[in-house]
Amino acid sequence: MHDDRNLVEARLKRVLDERIRPAVHPESIPLDVAVWNAPGEPVPVTEGLAAPTEPIAVGDRWGAPWGTCWFRISGTVPEAWAGRTVEAILDLGFDENMPGFQCEGLVYRPDGTPVKGLNPRNQWVRIGAPVAGGEDVLLHIEAASNPVILDYHPFLPTQLGDKETAGSEPQYTLARMDLAVFDENVWNLVQDLEVLGELMQELPVEGARRWDVLRAIGRALDAVDLQDVNGTAAAARAELAAVLATPAEPTAHRISAVGHAHIDSAWLWPLRETVRKVARTTSNMTALLEDEPDFVFAMSQAQQFAWIKEHRPEVYAKVKKAVADGRFVPSGGMWVESDTNMPGSEAMARQFVHGKRFFLDEFGIENDEAWLPDTFGFAAGLPQIIKAAGSKWLLTQKISWSQTNKFPHHTFQWEGIDGTRIFTHFPPVDTYNCSMKGSEIAHAAKNFKDKGVARHSLAPTGWGDGGGGTTREMIAKAARMRSLEGSATVTWETPTDFFTKAEAEYPNAPVWVGELYLELHRATLTSQAKTKQGNRRSEHLLREAELWAATAAVRTGFPYPYEQLDRIWKTVLLHQFHDILPGSSIAWVHREAEKTYAAVAEELNGIVDAAMRALAKDTPSGETLVFNSAPHTRGGVPAGGAAAVTVGSGGRLAPREDGGYVLDNDLLQVEIDSRGLVVSAYDIGAEREAVAPGQAANLLQIHPDFPNMWDAWDVDAFYRNTVTDLTDLDELTPVEEGGVVGVRIVRSFGDSKVTQQLTLSPGAKRLDIDTEVEWHETEKFLKAAFPLDIHAERYASETQFGHFYRATHTNTSWETAKFEACNHRFVHLEEPGWGVALVNDSTYGHDVTRSVRDCDAGTTTTVRVSLLRAPRFPDPETDQGVHRFRHALAPGAAIGDAVREGFRINLPERRVVGERAVAPLVTVDNDAVVVSAVKLADDASGDVVVRLYESTGGRARVRLGTGFELVGMTVTDLLERPLAVGNVPVRVDGGVQLSLRPFELVTVRLTRG
């Protein structure tokens, strides 16, 4: 037989496009349209419905950037349409290729009842099925004219990302406002032909099934009268019935489809617009659930549920009912789908505390899965946190974006730094916006790496980011693929259904140990420095506020601010969303974030100050007390306590012959040359030099930074090919004050200026580096290099509740790909018996390289901290302005010293005048054990909750002492619920004895007498 595949396939495409799809709505009449342009920000629904309107016609322009237009749509169903199904087709000017990235609308009835969302792939509203004829139609559309930021030519700088610079030019043209007859038979023919045509493309040419499908399609097209599609659709469908009814092979891959609409809580739109995106999407999905009995929809992010509860109660009522029916599934158990690399230990824990508690309180639902399809890699401390929150599974998709190495599993056990394992799944469909295309389903089956031992995968199905979620077309196509020869089987299931089956069939899944590093989007560790600083400082202020408020509540009856802290935590957690904290949102988002962090700091400092004054018995006649919020004793002040202290003898400063200076405090001797560079950092006690021979530390370096795509997200390896060392000097001045000795350095480069103060304090075995950068560069990357005389094959980076080791070498492509990585408060390098720590107060990105020196064949290991970038998309003014950073170089530091110095630089001492010293509320007798939180229990019982962890990677026995009468103790999960199994504490006089494994996290609830 002659091969006529191309002929049939081309015929199918044209007939579908030009004849069959247009026949879905064979008759239509125009609707009358009027509009009201809301001034400024969005208005309440009642105001929008009642506003005066003026006529507007199809073809007219509408919608200034970030504006809102309320359209009033009216008309009458023709009497001749009686008995037929009628829909309104409402096209606001959509581009079907941009669901979620342009204008959107929410349709209301005149009484304010939400009907459904309008999106590029979802433009219909059902009027009646059937209609009686003669009905009056009146609908209102709240339409958002969100501008297109990511266009067909992506990553071009644009001023549209900020309302203040976006202008007022209308963005859209009203395209269609009609009443139309809906022919369900033709619509079903479209779904039949699409499913079979897409399946056919994926089947092997040599197989009989492909030809059976091809011939059936040919017969169906023969049966269609192109001048009477509606009258012949049934005959065409009959020709396809047999091939659609042939069941799938018993060995077919099995896909659990989960209705999904991944909505970024902010990205190319501000937070306020996400509230409306969620309302539109959930209105769509609750309506679809009513029409489709097999459909299941899952939505993550407790914050998004909370938003519609607060701002769209009429929508939330429908959501809550659908949740109660088991069809609308709250998933993930986190406050938002956060970044997981940069959030600190407590913040990462609180994502689950606040997320899971919201779902429990609102719906009585406990999540077993963490749901993070779009997060940019996963820190090695996360498995323990997931388990400590009472969950056991993880789903993500983003690792499929890695550019260098393909991850070897789709279903596996992920092991974290403490040994905790979490059953994890990467959907092989390689998208979290599956649309049920045959190519997607075939790719999932072919791509699945665990064939032969497992057969299940998950497909998150629906348009995200405000694209409207799952469509009726996706559901129809899934129904045809429930059991279809040549295809994977598709069944709508909840995440729990999927994970239960997947785990049962794969009890010995392979294990992946350590971080899940995304080989892409590495620059998110540096972009938008002020957002990152706001996060870091908010995390530590929250620690202080909880610690001192709890201490004051127990000691003085100070009113513990439960509701205030709860609200502030949720604000900070929201801003850890994976496009806010990583710096990949539009200017509007980061401009608002800076203001929000300032307000958070003011509130938290107020709590801290009031609690400290209550504890110290504030009085003008008292002495100055030093409060220590860090988890280690320092300067004679115990952790979590306050005392009067005296300052020891100061350091010495002397000139060098070259015009530089020598700093000395009997622990360290630091030499700074005439260029203002650190050429020696000598550990006097160990008689060991930290800086590599012939090298200089604290060397600022600048690179060109123009990645191939994803400007704010990416830094490509070729950036290293060109580097400029910033050694020109404007000023080098000695500094001496209060026993602190140092130098002030000023440099100019490009259009920017940097001022640094390098200081050595009494009794401190570290060089403090304070940096101020007045940054006005574009598409540049600023780093600070520290070449160290250390031979190490690996180095430690702090992560949640511990640290993680990465290689310093590039033996394999996996190690080579990690050319930019994340740390929290410290990076630590060590030879046996001696090491160096580099700590920071607000930076995350860094790189580590090693080389062998010609002069002595020794190894130089260079750590470079990433300070600033200047991408132009999506915020063309990224990081322009003044920035301040604090770092410290600590020669001779063991890993425990790195932990201690990291807390020190992030938790500066506070001073209050008062009459009495403050004893700690709780104490630990082992410096390897870090107390990460001291607070009152969230249930307002008055119990004291203490969270602690082993910080050095070894075993630890610790006595947790209490500064109050202890009458009860319980080890709990993160939600402060008793654990049936786990670490068993031993009651000792006035405290609790615990034994911790390496990096083990324990939460203890203490009941006071």
Given this model, what pLDDT does residue 990 score? 80
Please name the residue that has the structure tokens 């090693």: 850
The catalytic position among 60, 95, 225, 374 is 374
Given this model, what pLDDT does residue 804 score? 97
How far apart, in whole angstroms, are the C-alpha atoms of residue 423 and residue 510?
Answer: 10
Burial-class residue 595 by CB neighbours within 10 Å (0-12, 13-18, 19+). exposed
Q: SS3 of 827, please?
A: strand
Given this model, what pLDDT does residue 988 score? 85
Given this model, what pLDDT does residue 984 score? 77
Mean per-residue pLDDT, 294-303: 98
Mean per-residue pLDDT, 942-968: 97
- Say whether pLDDT at 648 is over 80: no
Cβ partners under 8 Å of residue 446, min gap 6: none
Tens digits of residue pLDDT in 223-245: 999 999 999 999 999 999 999 99
DSSP secondary structure, 357-412, as one string: HHHHHHH-----EEE-TT-S-B-TTHHHHHHHTT--EEE--GGGG-SS---S-SEE
Contact between residue 95 and residue 120 where contact means Cβ atoms under 8 Å apart? yes
Given this model, what pLDDT does residue 85 score? 98
DSSP assigned state of 666: S
Q: Residue 919's pLDDT band (boundaries 50, 70, 90)?
A: very high
How large is the C-alpha radius of gyration of the chain?
Answer: 31
Phi, psi of 408 (to 5 degrees): -80, -10
Tens digits of residue pLDDT in 590-626: 999 999 999 999 999 999 999 999 999 977 778 999 9
Tens digits of residue pLDDT in 664-687: 999 999 999 999 999 999 999 999
| Alpha helices in 413-559, H assignment, sequence order | 438-447, 472-480, 495-505, 529-556
Q: Is 374 a catalytic residue?
A: yes
- Say whether pLDDT at 3 is over 90: no
Percent of the chain with pLDDT over 70: 100
Of 639, 661, 617, 256, the residue nearest 460 (C-alpha): 256
Burial-class residue 1003 by CB neighbours within 10 Å (0-12, 13-18, 19+). buried
Contact between residue 642 and residue 628 where contact means Cβ atoms under 8 Å apart? yes
- Say whether pLDDT at 647 is over 80: no
Given this model, what pLDDT does residue 151 score? 95
How far apart, in whole angstroms, are the C-alpha atoms of residue 92 and residue 141?
Answer: 10
Given this model, what pLDDT does residue 899 score? 98
How far apart, in whole angstroms, are the C-alpha atoms of residue 5 and residue 10?
Answer: 8
Tens digits of residue pLDDT in 136-177: 999 999 999 999 999 999 999 999 999 999 999 999 999 999
Q: Please provide the average confidence, as pLDDT, over all residues in the chain.
A: 97
Q: Residue 428's pLDDT band (boundaries 50, 70, 90)?
A: very high
- The token duo for 503 is 């785990």
Contact between residue 280 and residue 104 where contact means Cβ atoms under 8 Å apart? yes
Tens digits of residue pLDDT in 531-570: 999 999 999 999 999 999 999 999 999 999 999 999 999 9
Mean per-residue pLDDT, 902-916: 95
Given this model, what pLDDT does residue 441 score? 98
Tens digits of residue pLDDT in 815-847: 999 999 999 999 999 999 999 999 999 999 999
Tens digits of residue pLDDT in 93-136: 999 999 999 999 999 999 999 999 999 999 999 999 999 999 99
Q: Residue 202's pLDDT band (boundaries 50, 70, 90)?
A: very high
pTM over 0.85: yes
